[in-house]
Structures are given as structure tokens and as C-alpha cells.
Amino acid sequence: HLQSCKMNSAAAVLLACLCLAAHAQAFEVSFGSCPEKGNTVANFEPGRYVGPWYEIERYAQIFELLGKCATADYREDKDVEGRVTVTNTMRTIFNTNVSQSGYADITSTDGHAELNVVFNVP
């Protein structure tokens, strides 16, 4: 029986180490300046961007801790030209949905997909 307990303990430690290693791969830590800005989409059309978006992969974020099934719903703001509204939603460990709303204004003057994003923080 003692041999079985030792093997189970070793297996549990190995599994925990593998889980921690996999979890560590989800983080991206960076010090110093931001990387150079990449290319943005030319001739950006907000109407083609709107609708529901589903998360298939993510970097770990403190605000998404223990959350799952994250979505982002983008809509054109009919009152403000060049503005897109967004509602981000996720399911918590308590099986309830939480949401955060905001908007993005197009800041580019040449039609590129460059936006300033603002979230309404309570």
C-alpha cells in the first residue's frame, strides 16, 4: 500500500508540474518599451468588423481569471461616425455572465484600422 501511495504522489507532482509549465506558456511578460507597431488593415470598414467574435485562444489576463466562454460583440454606433461599440462577456466560475462595455473610435485619417479603445470602468 505504501508503494502505491508513493507512486500516486509522484504522479500527482508530475501532473502539477506539467500543468504549471503549460500555464506558464500562456503568459507573455515584457519589460522595456513596446514593440514596433505592425501593419494595420488599409481601407478599414467598421461594418465588416461588427458582430459577435468568439475567443479561441488568449493570453492570461487578471480580469479573465477563472472565466471562460469569452465573447466580444461589436456594433456600429449610429450616433457617432467612425465609432464602434463593444460589449465583452464571459462566464464566471459561478456560472453567471459578466460584461464590460466600451467603444472604439477610428483615429486614422488615411483609412487604416487604427482605433482608440475606451472601456466604461465603474
Q: Mean pLDDT score of the chain, rounded to an integer?
A: 79
- pLDDT band per the 50, 70, 90 thresholds, residue 102: very high
- Calculate mean pLDDT across residues 42-56: 88
What residue segments make up the domains of the chain, in order of their start? Answer: 35-119
CATH topology of domain 35-119: Lipocalin (2.40.128)
Q: What is the DSSP string of 33-80?
A: SPPPP----SS--HHHH-EEEE-S-----GGGTT-EEEEEEEEE-SSS
Indicate the pTM of the whole model.
0.64
Per-residue CA distances from 114 to 39, 56, 88 (Å): 10, 23, 20
| Length in residues, the chain | 122
